């Protein structure tokens, strides 16, 4: 007990020596630290949002109000990092230049599985990447979210020099006002689309429908042939089909699984824990080849910015994606938007007001 009293007495004398002014400064500093900690916590918290966390969509949408300002310096830094990790312009697409006959291609998702490159495959690949040395002033990356419905964003999307779209979405017709009519780069899923919708190109009916449908997507038709082993056979069959039919528009190309692995590893190191969605992957790719990137149709929530029920796709109800962490990815897009790296459109465009 005596030691406690001695300690208290020593502390009292110390306080008296410090003086009232220093004590006030100390208290104010502590208050400031607490307030700053709370403020930072509010900013950081959304970046760690998980799928199951309730989202205040109205509050989230407010982050996209106002005029977006492009930050050329931030874009240049991110583009340089993506180039150093992934060399997108050269390696995004599988070419005769980045593979050789007899080498083993490692699958992007099925770890440990490989495919030995044959001369037949090599002959059908482009000699070099169609993106090699190219750069576009303005690009639109269009997701398939129902946030596009009644958005009136079609003209804004088509204003771009280059338009990316995902998974053979319906365009034109009744969707034109909201989603535009142009595309230069379109992805196709070899299993859920080429294999199922077009019956693996085994029947004449399936082949005819495939040939008719892909003509709606001029430019490049990108197929992920080497993400999983089950996709390789049907992808090669599709490539043989368009080669034999001499279909050059669209040109069917294969994604490079090593580029996907490198890009996914980069984003894992920057907070994205799950496998990248096609939309997020395309956004990363666009950042490498476009001076200005605009994103449309990215909103992974079942309520719109006004807290009203929202379907999954703009063309059907669909089912929520359980493979990718879309909310986590969207918060990365929000971060980019606020930093001036990409312009994410979640509200109605001028034409739709």
* Complete DSSP assignment for 9-30: HHHHHHHHHHHHHHHHHHHHHH
Predicted pLDDT of residue 273: 75
Count of residues making up the chain: 353
As a whole number of Å, the end-to-end CA separation of the chain is: 76
Mean pLDDT of 137-155: 97
324 is annotated as an active-site residue: yes
Global pTM value: 0.83
Using one digit for the tens of pLDDT, what is the confidence trace for 301-327?
A: 999 999 999 999 999 876 666 666 889
- Per DSSP bridges, beta strands 104-106 and 114-116 are antiparallel
Distance CA 139, CA 177 (A): 18
Look at 8-17, 203-212, 242-251 and tell me which has the smallest mean pLDDT. Answer: 8-17
Same domain for 212 and 65, yes or no, is yes
Same domain for 11 and 118, yes or no, is no
Residue holding tokens 């338009």?
Answer: 163
Distance CA 3, CA 110 (A): 67
Which element (helix H / strand E) includes 343?
strand 343-345
- Number of domains present in the structure of the chain: 2
Note whether residue 296 is domain-resident: yes
Same domain for 29 and 168, yes or no, is no
Contact 341/284 with Cβ under 8 angstroms?
no
Residues near 94 by Cβ (< 8 Å), separated by ≥ 6? 105, 125, 225, 226, 253, 254, 255, 256
User: CATH number for the domain including 143?
Assistant: 3.90.1480.20
Question: Token pair for residue 123?
Answer: 């002959």
Grouping H, G, I as helix, E, B as strand and the rest as coil, residue 101 is coil
Note whether residue 54 is domain-resident: no
Grouping H, G, I as helix, E, B as strand and the rest as coil, residue 184 is coil
Grouping H, G, I as helix, E, B as strand and the rest as coil, residue 104 is strand
Average pLDDT, the chain: 86
Look at 43-47, 75-79, 279-283 and tell me which has the smallest mean pLDDT. Answer: 43-47
Query: Is residue 153's pLDDT more than 50?
Result: yes
Contact 223/257 with Cβ under 8 angstroms?
no
Q: What are the distances in angstroms from CA 57 to CA 61, 113, 300, 342?
A: 6, 41, 10, 20
Query: Is residue 265's pLDDT more than 80?
Result: yes
Same domain for 232 and 274, yes or no, is yes
Find the catalytic residue in 294, 313, 324, 337: 324
Query: Is residue 33's pLDDT more than 80?
Result: no
Same domain for 38 and 107, yes or no, is no
Sign of CA dihedral 129, 135, 136, 142: positive
More confident residue, 350 or 243: 243
Query: Is residue 36's pLDDT more than 60?
Result: no
Same domain for 130 and 247, yes or no, is yes
User: In this structure, what DSSP letter does residue 309 have?
Assistant: B
Sheet holding 136-142, edge to edge: 251-254, 220-223, 185-188, 162-165, 136-142, 290-296, 343-345
Same domain for 131 and 229, yes or no, is yes
Question: Token pair for residue 217?
Answer: 């997507």
Note whether residue 53 is domain-resident: no
| Buried b / exposed e along 5-32 (16+ C-beta atoms within 10 A) | eeeeeeeeeeeeeeeeeeeeeeeeeeee
Which residue segment(s) compose the domain that 249 sits in? 60-352
Query: Is residue 340's pLDDT more than 90?
Result: yes
Note whether residue 55 is domain-resident: no
Predicted pLDDT of residue 324: 65
- Percentage of the chain exceeding pLDDT 70: 82
Same domain for 227 and 316, yes or no, is yes
Distance CA 180, CA 217 (A): 13
Distance CA 298, CA 281 (A): 13
Same domain for 301 and 206, yes or no, is yes
* Alpha helices (H) in the chain, listed in sequence order: 2-44, 57-62, 72-86, 88-91, 119-124, 154-158, 176-179, 204-214, 230-244, 257-268, 278-289, 326-339
DSSP string, 125-139: S-SS-TTTT--EEEE
Q: Which of 180, 151, 155, 150 is nearest to 165 (CA)?
A: 180
More confident residue, 54 or 97: 97
Contact 282/330 with Cβ under 8 angstroms?
no
Note whether residue 103 is domain-resident: yes
Same domain for 15 and 147, yes or no, is no
Same domain for 126 and 19, yes or no, is no
Same domain for 33 and 144, yes or no, is no
């Amino acid at each position: 007990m005596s030691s406690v009293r001695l300690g208290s007495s020593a502390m009292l004398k110390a306080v008296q020596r410090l003086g009232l002014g220093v004590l006030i400064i100390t208290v104010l500093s502590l208050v400031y630290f607490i307030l700053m900690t709370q403020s930072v916590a509010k900013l950081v918290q959304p970046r760690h949002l998980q799928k199951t966390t309730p989202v205040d969509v109205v509050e989230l949408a407010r982050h996209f109000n106002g005029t977006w300002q492009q930050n050329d310096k931030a874009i240049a830094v991110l583009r340089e990092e993506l180039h150093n990790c992934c060399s997108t312009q050269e390696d995004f697409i599988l070419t005769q230049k980045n593979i050789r006959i007899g080498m083993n291609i490692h699958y992007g998702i099925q770890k440990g599985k490989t495919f030995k490159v044959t001369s037949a495959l090599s002959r059908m690949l482009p000699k070099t990447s169609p993106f090699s040395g190219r750069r576009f002033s303005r690009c639109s990356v269009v997701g398939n979210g129902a946030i596009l419905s009644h958005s009136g964003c079609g003209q804004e999307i088509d204003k771009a020099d280059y338009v990316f779209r995902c998974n053979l979405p319906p365009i034109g017709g009744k969707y034109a006002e909201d989603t535009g009519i142009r595309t230069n780069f379109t992805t196709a899923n070899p299993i859920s689309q080429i294999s199922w919708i077009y019956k693996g190109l085994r029947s004449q009916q399936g082949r005819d429908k495939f040939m008719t449908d892909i003509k709606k997507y001029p430019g490049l038709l990108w197929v992920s042939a080497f993400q999983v082993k089950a996709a390789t056979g049907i992808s090669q069959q599709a490539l043989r089909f368009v080669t034999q039919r001499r279909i050059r528009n669209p040109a069917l190309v294969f994604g490079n699984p090593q580029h996907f692995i490198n890009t996914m590893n980069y984003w894992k190191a920057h907070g994205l824990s799950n496998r990248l969605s096609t939309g997020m992957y395309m956004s990363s790719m666009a950042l490498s080849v476009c001076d200005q990137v605009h994103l449309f149709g990215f909103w992974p929530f079942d309520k719109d910015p006004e807290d009203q029920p929202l379907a999954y796709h703009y063309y059907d109800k669909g089912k929520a994606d359980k493979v990718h962490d879309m909310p986590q990815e969207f918060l990365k897009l929000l971060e980019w938007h606020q930093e001036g790296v990409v312009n994410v459109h979640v509200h109605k465009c001028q034409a739709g007001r």
